[in-house]
């Protein structure tokens, strides 16, 4: 059964230096508050896993929390580059960043295999691309019935999976709706999991389009109202598009980035997230 | 009405779509073009965004592929694994729209790294996103990209998404089920692969653009297809519909390929 | 786009002698009306595919419509045996019935592969069982990353997939809720598909737990109110448990079976289903 | 209160379950036992039915594994592929309940064919359903089955679901992740595997049953475990709770293994 604890406690208990950590949320429900808590707790050498390492991973990478990134699209959506990510890859600042790069379909299937207790997944993907040559984690596989050659990718089972959802009940059952992305797979694939939520309610009344992750499949639930900002939580907060544009300027320069993190993350009260 | 070259590009892209088609859309110009088509000549166009929204009917341009308006107006919202596995991979999608940082003479797309080598590139781009499998599995692909020598290169530094590989027969050898990049729409004109050699050549020039201008902006010896035509200029109706869409929405840069966050 | 047509037309157009046909509905929304229409149209040599060939397949088999059955559990749920199925297997009456037998997990994954455009699926299953020796459609496969040996099963892509749902709109978008089972996968895996529905409505208002199959992924939609009886359609009809018990007596004897089919299926008005 | 042997069997099965466990349930005796446990000593027991209902809390016994009451009271309802792939296969389920038409000395289960050969059997049974993967992947398996020589056989005619195969080490060799059939509950007593040989032997006799009776009903030379005990008789509370459950629901036969329609 999931235990409902403060965010600071959950992150301190779950996330250790050197862990592989997946903070997911595909375009919606991105767990910024949890990411900021990881920065505050000064974690190092994390293997960060995420299909779309956007602003939250730009921040973690820029603060030197990561030694490796496993991903499929690293940009500021609708705006352009992630400057901290590029600075790490192009100039090794503040630390070199090893990359393992996939396509969305490959990453999604890796999480599916992880959630399914299988060591690998099969897809029609990557064939003819130069992605194949850059990692040992893309291999051909032959159909034992037709002889057709397809592509295999290994399961992802991160040490810690972190997602944000709209609500949980006091027993720790989690409910999310709207674009639910890859969240369920990440929680089920992870060895330990944290779900931050907009609110904890007495009862999860059924909602169209909602999925529920039962409490017994989650390690910790933590309340983090507004915890997906500047991303959004459908029904609770709206996407702060201006911040995504502003981030381009903030992150372009190492110094303005550090100043911003200092003011909005490090000096922000623990358990509270101030992103814009 | 006068128009900009970006408007011509977007309208030319929208014209490629027909009512009843199913279209896999990324943010930026592809999304603008697809929504323009839906608002004008192709009202039944089905829009799919890789965030899992099927049949989204936004009344303004979404600001990210995960914009709430997509989920709220969709016929169905499915998980990310489902959108790739059940909907894209089996070849159910008619048209995939892609952008490119580099596009080579055989329609191969690079959105990964430019210059240097993969481990220490000169420019690190966002990467693949959904593009490799969109390029592989959609029945056809339309690439929408501004025309320049930096983008239109003889050989891509990195093949993120396969067009025609190194020429005829490569898609078949690789087992790619879709037909590949049937059309490339730029701010100067329209390109399509030569049926024999699979090399991209110019089929249309937008009004006021010369063949020399297009060749100057292309990093290989760009051929003109027999019967090279002029693109019909934007109609007043098209321009008005496009401007209604874009003024309802803050402008978004167009460099992004499929992807988002 | 799905065309909305009468049931008789849909079955006549879609289902031909010798086709592989999957009528699915896992414990809920079982497409009895469509099955009865296939009996009335006198189809022969069908390869019937279904995880749980219950009463509807007992009827199709007893009427000699099938030459082969691909399945994972063939019983009268909560009651006992399927006597027509057993008579066909044990005594070849009214015709021999070739069997291809799987587990539920195997069948479910075969449909998933079919819906995904893959030639096969991988699972932890069948190992050590005697099921492996009975069909060439269960094979070992080795993980290219870990070397672990798992099991592969080939995709199912039936010629025709038939399911029952609660509602469709006039454009042919289909909505179902409650236990949604394997229905989406069957429609997506099939070359041609038919969805029978309790009712056709102006608009599909969102419902908790509902899934929508978009019109353009379906071939035909046909109205068949009560079309899942004696199974049930949550929110429309309730399961006729007495009929499941009564079927044990009806089907035990060849003659009472034929009399029942004659009265309740063959002589029933076309487009109408009388099962109890 | 006096009780029947079936009531003793069901109550003995219910006692195996603890609050907080997650239990994969089939229709018939397993469902009755699991719901009895939930209504008595194990209120937090999580029930999963292979129809896709997770955390079902029925107030009467469901009549099929797809009973509407399961979907209506569940924490979550998922697709059939999801229940097997995301929930059963990775070993998230503590206890799987299975029935059997034949159960052999090593706990292997037959629910497929009896007599003759596979292609022309004497008796054609319903088949596998979810059982092979439940037997493979649940952390432990409880078999609930009436004791008779017809059922308790030296060697199963067909292995539908693997117990301990042909003895020690077989589960490990086959890569089966769960521990296998830890407990067999019958109307005569309780069996468990010998820790060394993996052969099922008697650990408990229900009140009033003799060792000879159990041996008489077993098709192999049934051994008694050291410290063979008598099962505690049903308490009044247990019997009342069981009868409240079963009188609220028409009786269903118990021969069915996992499966349904």
Give tens-digit pLDDT for D174-206: 999 999 999 999 999 999 999 999 999 999 999
> Could you give the domains of chain B?
5-248 (3.40.1080.10)
**pLDDT: which is higher, C271 or B100:** B100
* Cα separation, D112 vs D108, whole angstroms: 12
Q: Which residues 6+ apart lie within 8 Å of C122 measured at CB?
A: A118, A120, A121, A122, C109, C141, C150, C151, C152
Structure tokens, C70: 């691909």
Collect all residues of chain C within an 8 Å Cβ-Cβ radius of residue A105.
none
Q: pTM, whole model, 2 decimals?
A: 0.96
Question: Considering C93, C128, C154, which residue would you say is the last residue of a domain?
Answer: C154
Say if residue C226's pLDDT is above 50: yes
Same domain flag for A263 and A146: no
Residues 82-111 of D with CB under 8 A from C: 84-85, 88-89
Say yes or no: A171 contacts chain D, CB-CB below 8 A: no
pLDDT digit string (tens) for B2-23? 999 999 999 999 999 999 999 9
Which of A118, A204, A214 would best serve as a mutation to test chain D binding (most D beta carbons within 10 A)?
A214
Q: Does A81 fall in a domain?
A: yes
Measure the CA–CA gap between D81 and C51, rounded to whole angstroms: 12
The C-alpha of A27 sits at a distance from chain B's nearest C-alpha, in angstroms, of 4
Instruction: Please report which helix (H) or strand (E) contains residue C70, including its range.
Output: strand C66-71
Domain that holds residue C165: 3-102+157-269
Residue of C nearest to D177 (CA): C124
Cβ separation A103–B128 shorter than 8 A: yes
Domains in chain A, number? 2
User: Quick check: is C25 in a domain?
Assistant: yes
User: What is the torsion angle, in degrees rounded to the nearest 10, for the CA atoms of residue A137, residue A140, residue A145 and residue A148?
Assistant: 140
- Provide the shortest C-alpha distance from residue B227 to chain A (in Å): 33
Supply the mean pLDDT for chain B. 92
D14-41: pLDDT as tens digits: 999 999 999 998 767 888 999 999 999 9
Given this model, what pLDDT does residue B236 score?
A: 96
Share of chain D above pLDDT 90, in %: 84
**What integer pLDDT is reported at residue D260 of this predicted model?**
40
Chain D residue with the nearest C-alpha to that of C237: D68
Chain C residue with Cα closest to B73: C206
Pick from C184, C188, C212: which is nearest to B75 by CB? C212
Task: Kindly report the number of other CB atoms within 10 A of residue A112's CB atom.
Answer: 27
Q: In this complex, do D129 and C180 lie within 8 Å of one another by their Cβ atoms?
A: no
Return the structure tokens found at C95.
């015709």
Tokens read off for C164:
């029952």
Give yes or no: residues C30 and C162 share one domain.
yes
Q: CB distance A148–C210 less than 8 Å?
A: no
Examine the domain organization and report whether A214 and A239 are in the same domain.
yes
pLDDT of residue B67: 81
pLDDT at D65: 76
Pairing outcome for strands C149-154 and C139-142: antiparallel
pLDDT per position as a tens digit, C171-198: 999 999 999 999 999 999 999 999 999 9
Chains that touch B (3 or more CB pairs under 8 A): A, C
* CA–CA dist C214, C211 (Å, integer): 10
Examine the fold and report which residue of C154, C169, C187 is the final residue of a domain before the chain moves on. C154
Q: Does A90 lie in the same domain as A62?
A: yes
Catalytic residue status for B133: no
Q: How far is B145 from chain A (nearest CA, A)?
A: 15
Whether D63 contacts chain C with CB within 8 A: yes
DSSP code of residue B19: T
Residues A35 and A79 in one domain: yes
- Note whether A176 and A112 are same-domain residues: no
Find the residue in C nearest to A204 (Cα).
Answer: C208
Domain membership of residue A41 (yes or no) is yes
Q: Does D54 touch chain C (CB under 8 A)?
A: no
Lowest mean pLDDT among A112-126, B84-98, B202-216, D247-261: D247-261
Q: Are residues A115 and A243 in the same domain?
A: no
A93 plus A165 within the same structural domain: yes
For D33-52, b where at least 16 C-beta lie within 10 A, e where not — what string? bbbbbbbbbbeebbbbbbbb
Helix (H) or strand (E) holding B183: strand B181-185
The verdict on a CB contact (< 8 Å) between D90 and A184 is no
Provide the pLDDT for residue B62: 85
Q: Could you tell me the mean pLDDT of each successive run of 10 residues in chain A, 276 residues long? A: 96 98 95 98 98 97 98 92 95 96 98 98 97 96 98 98 98 97 98 98 96 98 98 95 96 98 86 45
Q: Do C125 and C141 fall into the same domain?
A: yes
Mean pLDDT of chain D: 92
- Whether residue D63 contacts residue C241, with contact meaning beta carbons closer than 8 Å, is answered with yes
Residue A274 forms part of a structural domain: no
Residue A69 lies in a domain: yes
C253 DSSP 8-state letter: S
Q: Which residue has the tokens 């040490």?
A: A159
CA gyration radius for chain A?
A: 18
For residue C115, give the nearest of B46, B86, B91 by CB distance: B86
Residue pLDDT, tens place only, A219-255: 999 999 999 999 999 999 999 999 999 999 999 999 9
Residues C171, C126 share a domain: no
pLDDT tens figures, D200-241: 999 999 999 999 999 999 999 999 999 999 999 999 999 999
The pLDDT value recorded for residue B249 is 63
* CA B89 to each of CA B200, C217, D154: distance values in angstroms, whole numbers, following the listed order: 25, 14, 49
Q: How confident is the model at residue C205 (pLDDT cuts 50, 70, 90)?
A: very high
Q: Are residues A20 and A134 in the same domain?
A: no
Question: With a cut of 0.90, is the ipTM above it?
Answer: yes
Q: Could you tell me the maximum CA-CA distance found in chain D, to the nearest angstrom? A: 49
The answer to whether B121 touches A93, Cβ cutoff 8 Å, is: no
Residue C85 lies in a domain: yes
What is d(CA A25, CA A31) in angstroms, rounded to the nearest whole number? 7
Spatial separation of the C-alpha atoms in residues B31 and B23, rounded to whole Å:
10
Indicate if A46 and A178 belong to the same structural domain.
yes
Residue C274 domain flag:
no
Residue from the list A125, A134, A209 with its beta carbon closest to the beta carbon of B133: A125
Residue D84 to chain C, least CA–CA distance (Å)? 6
Mean pLDDT for the stretch of residues B89-116: 96
What is the CATH classification number for the domain harbouring C21? 3.40.1080.10
In a domain, C276, yes or no: no
Confidence of residue D253 (pLDDT cuts 50, 70, 90): very low
Q: What is the pLDDT of residues B191-224, one digit of tens each?
A: 999 999 999 999 999 999 999 999 999 999 999 9
pLDDT digits 0-9 by tens, C78-117? 889 999 999 999 999 999 999 999 999 999 999 999 999 9
**Which of C117, C144, C152 minimises the CB distance to A144?**
C152
Chain C: nearest CA to B172, how far in angstroms? 16
What percent of chain B is modeled with pLDDT above 90? Answer: 84
Neighbours of chain D (3+ CB pairs under 8 A): A, C
């Amino acid at each position: 059964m999931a235990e409902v604890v403060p965010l600071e406690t959950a992150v301190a208990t779950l996330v250790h230096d050197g862990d592989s950590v997946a903070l997911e949320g595909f375009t919606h429900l991105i767990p910024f508050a949890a990411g900021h808590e990881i920065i505050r707790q000064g974690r190092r050498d994390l293997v960060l896993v995420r299909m779309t390492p956007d602003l939250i991973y730009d921040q973690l990478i820029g603060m030197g929390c990561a030694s490796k990134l496993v991903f499929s699209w690293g940009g500021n959506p609708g705006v352009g580059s992630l400057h901290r990510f590029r600075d790490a890859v192009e100039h090794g600042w503040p630390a070199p960043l090893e990359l393992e790069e996939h396509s969305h379909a490959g990453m999604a299937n890796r999480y599916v295999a992880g959630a399914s207790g299988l060591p690998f997944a099969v897809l029609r993907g990557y064939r003819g691309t130069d992605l194949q040559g850059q990692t040992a984690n893309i291999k051909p596989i032959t159909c034992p019935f037709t002889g057709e050659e397809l592509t295999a990718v290994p399961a992802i089972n991160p040490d810690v999976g972190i997602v944000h959802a709209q609500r949980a009940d006091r027993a720790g059952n989690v409910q999310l709706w709207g674009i639910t992305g890859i969240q369920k797979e990440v929680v089920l694939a992870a060895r330990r999991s944290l779900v931050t939520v907009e609110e904890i309610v007495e009862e999860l009344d059924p909602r169209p389009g909602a999925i529920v992750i039962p409490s017994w499949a989650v390690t910790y639930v933590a309340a983090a109202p507004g915890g997906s900002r500047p991303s959004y939580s459908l029904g609770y907060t709206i996407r702060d598009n201006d911040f995504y544009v502003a981030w381009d300027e903030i992150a372009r320069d190492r110094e303005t980035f550090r100043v911003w993190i200092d003011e909005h993350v490090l000096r922000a009260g623990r358990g509270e997230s101030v992103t814009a | 009405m006068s128009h900009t070259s970006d408007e011509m590009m977007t309208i030319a892209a929208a014209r490629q779509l027909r009512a009843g088609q199913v279209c896999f859309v990324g943010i930026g110009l592809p999304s603008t073009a697809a929504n323009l088509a839906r608002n004008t000549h192709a009202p039944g166009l089905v829009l799919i965004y890789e965030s899992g929204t099927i049949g989204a009917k936004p009344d303004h341009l979404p600001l990210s592929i995960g914009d709430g308006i997509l989920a709220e107006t969709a016929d169905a919202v499915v998980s990310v694994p489902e959108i790739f596995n059940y909907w894209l991979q089996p070849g159910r999608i008619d048209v995939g729209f892609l952008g490119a940082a580099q596009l080579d003479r055989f329609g191969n797309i690079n959105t990964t790294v430019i210059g240097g080598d993969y481990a220490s590139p000169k420019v690190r781009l966002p990467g693949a996103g959904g593009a490799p499998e969109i390029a592989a599995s959609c029945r056809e692909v339309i690439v929408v990209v501004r025309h320049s020598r930096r983008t239109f290169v003889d050989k891509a530094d990195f093949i993120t998404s396969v067009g025609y590989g190194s020429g005829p027969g490569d898609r078949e050898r690789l087992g790619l089920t879709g037909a590949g990049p049937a059309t490339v729409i730029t701010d100067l004109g329209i390109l399509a692969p030569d049926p024999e050699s699979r090399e991209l050549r110019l089929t249309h020039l937008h009004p006021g653009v010369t063949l020399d201008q297009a060749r100057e902006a292309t990093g290989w010896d760009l051929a003109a297809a027999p019967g090279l035509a002029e693109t019909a200029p934007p109609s007043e109706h098209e321009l008005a519909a496009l401007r209604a869409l874009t003024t309802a929405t803050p402008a978004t840069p167009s460099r992004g390929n499929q992807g988002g966050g």
